[in-house]
Chain A
Amino acid sequence: MAIDFKLSESIDTQRQMAQMVAEQMMRPVSRHFDEHEHDIPWDYINAMWPIMRQNPMFGAVDKPETATDPNKPKKPKTGNVRMVHLIEALSWGDAGMYLTTPGGALGGAAVAAAGTSDQKNRFLARFGDSETPVWGSMAMTEPQAGSDTSAIRTTAVRDGDSWILNGEKIYCTGGRLSLEESQGLVVVWATVDPKLGRAGMKAFVVEAGTPGMQVTKLEHKMGIRASDTAAVVFTDCRIPFDNVLGNPEIPKAEATAASADAPKGFKGAMKTFDATRPAVAASALGIARAALELLREQLSIAGIPIRDDVPVNEMSAIERDVLELEAQHKAAWLLTLKAAWMMDSGEANTVEASACKVKAGEAATVITQKAVELLGPLGYTRELLAEKWMRDAKINDIFEGTGQINRLIIARRILGFSSRELK
């Protein structure tokens, strides 16, 4: 090993293919799906399904090692590095449409992070086997519980060989695609005992078509409009006992009081985020790259030079702006790549996953806002996509933990304070 920035040929080829898809299948219809919210981009979805079945982006079940020769070095994992490259390219095409890419998405990632190997086989198989597109989704957020995930009220009560779920989830990305448009699944976070706080939280897989689960609303949004954001209500929704991800054991109140900072159920959610935050960062940076490229192109058409060989103090204001935006973009991308690489290497990457999310969420927001400004009348018009990218980019500083929450996560880790000591 050595520090190396060379992308493997196989990932590079896939990245170029994703870029081609973005150019040819997404960009031409990007505006349409922005202006026709709740239309489903089936052409894109159907074209992507055969590819995603073969090579899922999220929640891939690691292929068992076939090598029997113990001397043969294990092939290093590259799934997360590959994933961030594909997401970046697709989001360059259209970040809302990217979120409709069929596959396990956040639900798949949660099963992969928190499930037993039996559960992984049981729940993730459909993302490879099904002839028609299938989606997964994840429902944590509730009307009264966003950043503060410990405040969720959806309950799971054991009843013999079943759990019974009751509660309301909101803002579930892909809720409609996973539950109404396919035989997909949603990973629902619920509490087995509200008195236990985080320790009582567990993740439950609910499959499409389960009685007692209903999509009740599709939100209207500022951006990423091709992606559905659903409310899902559970009314005495009965699911099999072994649909609880990971360890089914219900913690005893007194035993968990001491270890309340590191409850198992909650840890599962956090592990999911270690994988999905770099994905969100990558999506943000795909949008940001689109904006930077358009900006460069328009500046060049207008004959405004962006020089590399003058000192910063001799640069024009626009040259300096572009330099700073591009530097933000590069720093954020490298942080994302590093967080994904650490995940592949089996290194703990919680700080890095939050770091890339903080930087990319902010960079994409600033870059797209500044691009609209610098492009002037070309920026603000709906004839070009810059204004859309600005609307799309902002979500990345919000979901999967807001910028503030990710700063909090980093700060607690580096300072060594618990969530009670640093709120």
Chain B
Amino acid sequence: MISFSPSEEQALIVDTLKRFAKDRLRSIFREADENGELPADILSKGWELGLVGSSIPEQYGGFGEFSAVTGALALEELAWGDLASALALSAPASFAFAILAAGTEAQREALLPQFSEESFVNATSALIEPRLQFNPRKLQTTATSDGNGYVLNGVKSYVPLANSAEHFLIYAAENGQTQAFIVPAKTVGLSVGEREKLMGVRALEVARITLDNVKVAADAKLGGEAGIDFGRLYARSQVALAALAIGVARGAYEYALDYARNRQTFGEAIGQRQSIAFMLAEMLVEIDGARLMVWEAAWKLDNNQEVTRDALMAKHNADKTVLMVCDRALQILGGHGYIREFPVELWLRNARGFSTFDGLAMV
């Protein structure tokens, strides 16, 4: 039956993450952006909240049930706190959830239990390629069968935590179809390049990786010989990224709203003027609408319904919304919005990334 109220369990998770986002992430995000790195303990603190383990069923060592709706709720809160931290915490999840959803029984049994242990698992995935018209369904990185296994060749970009990662999930085209391969970091031919410098999420370490005749065994292919339904996994990454975008947008909206209430010009609060007030009203409407699209797509994922177009719409709409909202938030702060002492310019830089971000997170 139609309902928009989270379950008690979901409410509890949201509550916990809200606190973490407010107390922890909001106290480090600016400095982390300036320094280009996250404080050492932020990932372990986040990990302690059981973000990944709580979505892995008991039989694989976890302590929960997977739900895309819950995932979307959680990611919104994290991104509200800090997008760079949220993406760093999402990197292992994008690896683990793909294994859980599409892996063979053996792959799940071998790889999933570590995600429920206490220390952060350095796992990540690599989808994006460094070119203008990147298309995840037409990858230039290739996987060729060599009789015993596969040989991977190509270049991946924007790979989070590439330098410290122990496990990679690498997406490559096999006979024109996007498949995924589990590749340990020390595999010969896999090299991690210089760190990439981005406009936003500067605290998130991302790098290019090069695959030069990387040989992996046949059982490294996610889902075994049959492979994966990439469309389904991709939809999950679209929904996750859209949820993160909502979190960023909400943060900027709330900040601008508060500012508009208090900032005085010509003897009145700027929020008393329609040109400012209407912008804020529209920001609220767009954020709420975009969030509901994320929820509905996530709900369809959880209920095994067709979701390709819903996920596409949710992602595209969230990308547009977060940019619009952050741009307006900056406008509402005027010159102050442009100054790095205020958070809004950072959020606008982060927001611009969403139209490029692909496969960096998963619900």
Contact = CB atoms under 8 A, between A and B. Distances in A.
Contact of B2 (A341, A352, A422, A423): A341
Contacts of B231: 309
Given A5-B299, A358-B285, A327 B317 contact: yes
A314 B133 contact: yes
Nearest to A406: B281
Interface residues of B, number: 48
A67 interface: no
Interface string B129-167: 000011111000000000000000000000000000000
B31 interface: no
Nearest to A420: B272
B4 A342 contact: yes
A338 B296 CA distance: 12
Contact of B292 (A334, A404, A422): A334
User: Is chain B's binding surface mostly helix, strand, loop or mixed?
Assistant: helix
A407 interface: yes
Chain A residues touching B, majority SS: helix
B284 A334 contact: no
A332 interface: yes
Contacts of B7: 1-3
Contact of A410 (B3, B285, B299, B309): B285
Interface string B8-49: 001000000000000000000000000000000000000000
Contact of B289 (A2, A334, A351, A408): A334
A421 interface: yes
Contacts of A330: 293, 296, 310, 313
B316 A323 contact: yes
Contact of B135 (A311, A332, A338, A422): A311
B1, B303, B355 — which one has the most chain A CB atoms within 10 A of its CB? B1
A42 interface: no
A317 interface: no
Contact of A359 (B5, B135, B289, B313): B289
B257 interface: yes
Contacts of B290: 331
Nearest to B310: A330
B1 A358 contact: no
Contact of B296 (A5, A78, A312, A415): A5
Contact of A6 (B1, B4, B261, B308): B1
B277 interface: yes
Q: Please indicate which of the listed interface residues B271, B274, B281, B288 has the most CB atoms of chain A within 10 Å of its own CB.
A: B281
A8 B1 contact: yes
Contact of A417 (B1, B135, B271, B293): B271
B4 A341 contact: yes
A282 B272 CA distance: 31
A4 interface: yes
A5 B293 CA distance: 11
A407 B277 contact: yes
Contacts of A76: 1
Contacts of A345: 5
B288 A355 contact: yes
Contacts of A342: 4
A323 B313 contact: yes
Nearest to A351: B284
Nearest to A309: B137
B342 interface: no
The 6 closest A-B pairs by CB, nearest first: A331-B289, A334-B292, A411-B277, A2-B7, A410-B281, A407-B281
Given A3-B295, A335-B285, A337-B2, 10 more contacts: A3-B4, A7-B2, A312-B316, A331-B317, A334-B295, A404-B278, A408-B278, A410-B285, A414-B281, A423-B274
Interface of B: 1-7, 10, 69, 133-137, 231, 257, 260-261, 269, 271-272, 274, 277-278, 280-282, 284-286, 288-290, 292-293, 295-296, 299-300, 303, 308-310, 312-313, 316-317, 355
6 contacts: A3-B299, A311-B133, A335-B292, A414-B257, A416-B261, A417-B271
